[in-house]
């Protein structure tokens, strides 16, 4: 059985999403790979360009040296066009002739001797020398092309490092959403399964991938859980049935014996039998589950409920306004309040006080049970209402059943510690104000009863 809650009631935060983590992981991997590969490719490209530039510079120097040593060749060929500078030096390193752009006079010392990367007139250059007989040929070319190429390659790499991860993150998120759509739908459906009722299996995707295997394993687990729950409920029901009849007879016999003899031990034994009877009722409630419990609505005086509770839990102090009317199932509400009072009595001890206060408003009726015991353990919190969880030495079923009964009445049951010390439980049900339709329904219920 599946609750009628809407789909997608609890969305996973993006930082906890599996598809986001997958997309982020692939994005970081892509960033690392692009950075490494891009840096390697850029390094190889720049080295290749540097070698080509150095070869072009060497070819230029070789051509000038060859024309200088072979005058006939120089008469037939023109120097290849270049944007660099050329100078011819003598054995003492003085200028024999130089390009006009260098601004050097013949015979003066050459200022760029020994420099492979000089700066000529503010322009970075790369220079080589070649021997040409008794002369030295000096050729320099500007490195502007290399600088521009390096800057272009660096910008292209940075652009790839910025754009590609962003695209990878968006595409990875979209692909992950498509790939994990079946898993997300199954998670929403699983969140709507009520484990206290019959379990439902999760829908399987068409493609038999890892998600299909996971959901199939969960379905097999759900089937096993349902089988175990069914056996447990059946066994628990049989045990309660076997204990119920003897305890009822024992309780009646001890009550009559106590009334006849007045023996305190017999009366105490009757109270123990009464405690066991209510425990078996709680176990039966747990075995049947909330689905099988039905409420028999009655419109009763609040004093009737107080009288029943006074007999079941002697020593209770009643406060508040008990002169009104209640629309409830008297047996179930008595069972719920009796469980709260019995727990409070155990917590308060023989010398402590237990108070049941009735507060009534136009919309709600609140029963406030307070004791003078040590209070509720703070580490339990709301778990105290789970079956077999107890902070007072009881079976741990009473509070769970009491909350279940309050819920079926359309109300709530909360727990906490009172400001002055001790535990405090508040059971709230809708008020007893009736409209015309409710009055007709109540008359029908009373007539059938």
| Residue 204 belongs to domain with CATH number | 1.10.287.130
CA-CA distance, 355 to 403, in Å (whole number)? 19
Handedness of CA 428, 320, 343, 244 (dihedral sign): negative
Residue at a domain's end among 292, 309, 330: 292
Write down the pLDDT at residue 430.
93
Q: How far is CA 391 from CA 125, 233, 359, 385, in A?
A: 88, 25, 26, 10
| Among candidate residues 167, 144, 159, 123, the one with its CA nearest the CA of residue 42 | 159
- Is residue 408 domain-shared with residue 268, that is, in the same domain? no
CA-CA distance, 415 to 392, in Å (whole number)? 14
- Is residue 205 domain-shared with residue 191, that is, in the same domain? yes
Residue at a domain's end among 244, 264, 292: 292
Say which residue, 427 or 219, is predicted with more confidence.
427
3-state SS assignment for residue 360: strand
Is the CB of residue 349 less than 8 Å from the CB of residue 386? no
| Among candidate residues 60, 41, 186, 185, the one with its CA nearest the CA of residue 128 | 60
CA-CA distance, 412 to 428, in Å (whole number)? 5
Torsion of CA 225, 230, 235, 237, to 10 degrees: 130
What's the average model confidence in pLDDT over 218-237? 78
Residue 1 lies in a domain: no
Asked if pLDDT for residue 77 goes beyond 60, the answer is: no
Asked if pLDDT for residue 337 goes beyond 90, the answer is: yes
- Is residue 298 domain-shared with residue 287, that is, in the same domain? no
Neighbours of 14 (CB within 10 A): 10
Q: ∠ at Cα 426 (320, 271), nearest 5°?
A: 80
Per-residue pLDDT tens for 115-127? 888 888 888 888 9
Q: How far is CA 308 from CA 242, 288, 334, in A?
A: 26, 25, 7
Say which residue, 97 or 318, is predicted with more confidence.
318
Q: Which residues pair with 137 in a beta bridge?
A: 88, 130
Write down the pLDDT at residue 105.
86
Neighbours of 413 (CB within 10 A): 23
How would residue 266 be classed by pLDDT, with cut points 50, 70 and 90?
confident
Per-residue pLDDT tens for 98-143? 887 888 888 899 888 888 888 888 888 889 998 888 889 999 888 8
Say what angle helices 210-261 and 181-191 make with each other, to 10 degrees: 10
Asked if pLDDT for residue 318 goes beyond 90, the answer is: yes
- How many residues are listed for the chain in this entry? 449
Say which residue, 304 or 258, is predicted with more confidence.
304
Task: State percent of the chain over pLDDT 90.
Answer: 14
Task: Indicate the pTM of the whole model.
Answer: 0.45
Write down the pLDDT at residue 255.
79
Say which residue, 51 or 2, is predicted with more confidence.
51
- Is residue 299 domain-shared with residue 440, that is, in the same domain? yes
Structural domains counted in the chain: 2
How would residue 189 be classed by pLDDT, with cut points 50, 70 and 90?
low
- Is residue 417 domain-shared with residue 298, that is, in the same domain? yes
Question: Out of 13-27, 37-51, 84-98, which region has the weakest mean confidence (pLDDT)?
Answer: 13-27
Write down the pLDDT at residue 440.
47
Per-residue pLDDT tens for 144-166? 878 888 888 788 878 877 887 78
- Is residue 263 domain-shared with residue 403, that is, in the same domain? no
3-state SS assignment for residue 118: coil
Q: What are phi and psi of 425, to 5 degrees?
A: -115, 135
Residue at a domain's end among 275, 292, 309: 292
Expressed as residue numbers, the domain containing 382 is 294-448
- Is residue 302 domain-shared with residue 409, that is, in the same domain? yes
Q: Kindly give, in sequence order, each residue whose CB lies less than 8 Å from that of residue 415, ignoring residues fewer than 6 positions away.
A: 376, 382, 384, 385, 399, 423, 424, 425, 426
Residue 52 lies in a domain: no
Mean pLDDT of the chain: 78
CA-CA distance, 146 to 52, in Å (whole number)? 10
């Amino acid at each position: 059985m599946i609750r009628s809650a809407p789909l997608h009631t609890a969305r996973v935060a993006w930082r906890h999403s599996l598809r986001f983590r997958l997309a982020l992981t692939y994005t970081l991997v892509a960033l690392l790979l692009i950075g490494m590969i891009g840096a390697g490719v850029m390094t190889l490209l720049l080295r290749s360009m540097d070698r080509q530039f150095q070869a072009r510079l060497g070819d230029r120097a070789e051509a000038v040296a060859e024309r200088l040593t072979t005058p006939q060749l120089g008469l037939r060929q023109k120097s290849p066009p270049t944007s660099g500078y050329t100078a011819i030096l003598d054995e003492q390193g003085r200028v024999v002739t130089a390009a006009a752009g260098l601004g050097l006079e013949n015979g003066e010392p050459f200022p760029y001797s020994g420099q492979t990367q000089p700066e000529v007139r503010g322009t970075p250059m790369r220079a080589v020398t070649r021997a040409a007989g008794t002369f030295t040929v000096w050729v320099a070319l500007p490195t502007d092309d290399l600088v521009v190429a390096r800057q272009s390659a660096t910008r292209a790499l940075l652009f790839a490092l910025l754009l590609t991860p962003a695209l990878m993150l968006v595409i990875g998120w979209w692909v992950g959403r498509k790939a994990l759509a079946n898993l997300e739908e199954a998670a929403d459906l699983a969140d709507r399964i009520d484990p206290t009722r019959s379990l439902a299996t999760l829908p399987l995707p068409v493609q038999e991938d890892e998600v299909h295997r996971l959901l199939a394993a969960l379905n097999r687990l759900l089937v096993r859980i349902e089988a175990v729950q069914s056996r447990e409920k059946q066994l628990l029901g049989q045990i309660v049935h076997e204990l119920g009849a003897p305890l009822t007879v024992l309780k009646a016999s001890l009550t009559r014996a106590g009334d006849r003899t007045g023996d305190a031990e017999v009366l105490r034994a009757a109270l123990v039998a009464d405690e066991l009877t209510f425990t078996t009722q709680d176990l039966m409630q747990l075995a049947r589950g909330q689905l099988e419990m039905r409420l028999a609505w009655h419109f009763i005086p609040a004093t009737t409920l107080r009288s029943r509770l006074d007999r079941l839990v002697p020593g209770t102090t009643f406060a508040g306004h008990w002169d009104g009317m209640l629309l409830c199932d008297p047996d179930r509400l008595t069972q719920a309040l009796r469980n709260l009072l019995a727990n409070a009595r155990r917590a308060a001890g023989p010398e402590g006080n237990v108070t049941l206060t009735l507060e009534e408003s136009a919309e709600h009726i609140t029963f406030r049970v307070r004791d003078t015991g040590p209070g509720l353990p703070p580490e339990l919190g709301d778990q105290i209402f789970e079956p077999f969880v107890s902070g007072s030495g009881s079976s741990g079923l009473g509070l769970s059943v009491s909350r279940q009964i309050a819920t079926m009445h359309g109300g709530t049951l909360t727990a906490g510690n009172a400001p002055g010390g001790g535990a405090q439980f508040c059971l709230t049900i809708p008020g007893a104000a009736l409209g015309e339709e409710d009055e007709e329904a109540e008359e029908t219920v009373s007539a059938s009863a």
